[in-house]
Structure 1
Amino acid sequence: MTENQDSRAVVALRDVAVHRRSSGQEIVLDGIDWIVRPGEHWALLGANGAGKTTLLRLVGAAMYPTLGSVEVLGDRLGRVDMRELRARVGLVSAAQKVPLEATAHTVVLTGATGTVQPLWREYGSAVRERARVLLAELGCKEFADR
């Protein structure tokens, strides 16, 4: 992989390891090299405890590696304000609880603020219309109010 090819990466992990210390030293990930370029689609498969969620937390700028380097959208973890980087990353987790009464339109709106709970004052008419357009593009406009 040349430096020029790496610079276009959406995500670049180089010799990444994540160690957790609970009872002794348990290695969660070790020696991970992974490049994701614009337009690529990936699926992570593995047994429970294999490190899939840990890997996604790294690329979602939700945690740091123990060893190695992680670059997300051109910024290296440890050299960038993680809060600012997370604002540019779309990460959906089962740990995030969407309000049960939220409509599909409301859920799409929350993407504009990177939140799970709606921030109603932040959604002007342009943001609300964009959410409707996105639902239509996904073939889900009939679910907007459900």
Structure 2
Amino acid sequence: MEILNFDHVKLIREQNVLLQDINWHVKSGEDWAILGLNGAGKSLMLNMISGNLWPSEGKLTVLGELFGETSIPDLTKRIGWVSQSLQERIHREERSEYIVLSGKFASIGIYQTYSEGDLAEAKQLLRSLGAEKLIGKAFKVLSQGEKQIVLIARALMAKPELLILDEPCNGLDLFAKEDLLARIKRMKQEIDAPSLLYVTHHTEEILPFINHLLMIRNGQIYKQGLRKELLNEATLNDFYQRPIAIHTMSEERLMVIPR
């Protein structure tokens, strides 16, 4: 089954073309990074995947379900999404394990009946991410990085087939960012880990297991394919339309620096 299939998708709002002729296919088992500057169209594509926006033209298939022929509420239960906007909606007083547990019901707060087994599973998810120390702590006392870990665990609670991490390192300091990236790598080592879309401005966040890259600029796909074939100085100079230099970090990670 294909995870995503954008087939000549166009998005128009108030006579403005926001996304133009998007053709993009993600196969089961693939992990992709989506790279682009502010305003490139990354968030619009995510909102289309989640059913918040619909194509003005073309066809969009998500997890084998064709838009227009499927139930969007049922589809969104199969997708985990971690974003800054979600963090702002979480109840500040709620403890970490209960925030994770709420992912089972796709709710902000818990209003449904749950079992002790459900709560134990939520705690185990935090442990699996190396975050056992967060159990019992209120969301308001967590650091920015710790909050992101809790929200990733929350997304995994629903056992999604697709996990979207939308700029998860935004606002983190150097050390918190590296800690979060290490936990994401740890998550992907689990046998039942979902396919991942990692959205970022920063090439150094693209971990080695993310083999595919979609580069988007001005609402259009600039290039897509294997990361190792696209992350080079010539391609990135043209993509950013400004001179850059590349610094090679450990684990095949690359940092782009303006010249």
Counterpart for residue 133 of structure 2: 142
User: Do the aligned partners of 1:18 and 1:66 also contact (CA within 8 Å) in 2?
Assistant: yes
- TM-score with structure 1 length normalisation? 0.85
Alpha-carbon distance between aligned partners in 2 of 1:40 and 1:122, rounded to the nearest angstrom = 35
1:119-138 alignment, distance < 5 Å: 119-138=110-129
SS in 1 for 2:99: helix
- TM-score with structure 2 length normalisation? 0.49
Q: AA paired with 1:20? A: R
Alpha-carbon distance between aligned partners in 1 of 2:29 and 2:95, rounded to the nearest angstrom = 30
Q: Residues 88 and 122 of structure 1: is their aligned pair in 2 closer, same or farther, counting only changes over 3 Å?
A: farther
Counterpart for residue 118 of structure 1: 109
1:106 to 98, 122, 142: 98
Question: How far off its partner does 1:120 sit?
Answer: 4.0
Indicate whether 1:63 and 2:56 are aligned.
no
Alpha-carbon distance between aligned partners in 2 of 1:26 and 1:60, rounded to the nearest angstrom = 21
Question: How far off its partner does 1:87 sit?
Answer: 1.8
1:3-53 deviation digits (Å, cap 9, x = unpaired) = xxxxx21111111111111xxx21111111111122222122212221111
Indicate whether 1:11 and 2:4 are aligned.
yes
SS in 2 for 1:95: helix
Question: How far off its partner does 1:82 sit?
Answer: 0.9
Alpha-carbon distance between aligned partners in 2 of 1:68 and 1:122, rounded to the nearest angstrom = 41
Bigger mean CA offset, 68-77 vs 38-47: 38-47
Counterpart for residue 84 of structure 1: 74
Which of structure 1's runs of 4+ aligned residues deviate more than 6 A?
none
Q: Greater strand percent: which structure?
A: 2
Alpha-carbon distance between aligned partners in 2 of 1:9 and 1:18, rounded to the nearest angstrom = 22
Q: Please tell me the root mean square deviation across aligned C-alpha atoms, in Å.
A: 1.4
Q: AA paired with 2:45? A: L
Indicate whether 1:43 and 2:36 are aligned.
no
Q: Give aligned pairs, total.
A: 135
Alpha-carbon distance between aligned partners in 2 of 1:122 and 1:62, rounded to the nearest angstrom = 28
Alpha-carbon distance between aligned partners in 2 of 1:58 and 1:105, rounded to the nearest angstrom = 30
Q: Which has the higher contact order (CA 8 A, sep 6+)?
A: 2
1:97-133 deviation digits (Å, cap 9, x = unpaired) = 1111222212211110112x22243322121111111
Alpha-carbon distance between aligned partners in 1 of 2:133 and 2:28, rounded to the nearest angstrom = 31
User: Do the aligned partners of 1:132 and 1:144 also contact (CA within 8 Å) in 2?
Assistant: yes
User: Do the aligned partners of 1:90 and 1:114 also contact (CA within 8 Å) in 2?
Assistant: no
2:23 to 33, 36, 47: 33
Alpha-carbon distance between aligned partners in 2 of 1:123 and 1:61, rounded to the nearest angstrom = 28
Counterpart for residue 235 of structure 2: none
- Which consecutive unaligned segments of at least 5 residues does structure 2 have? 138-259
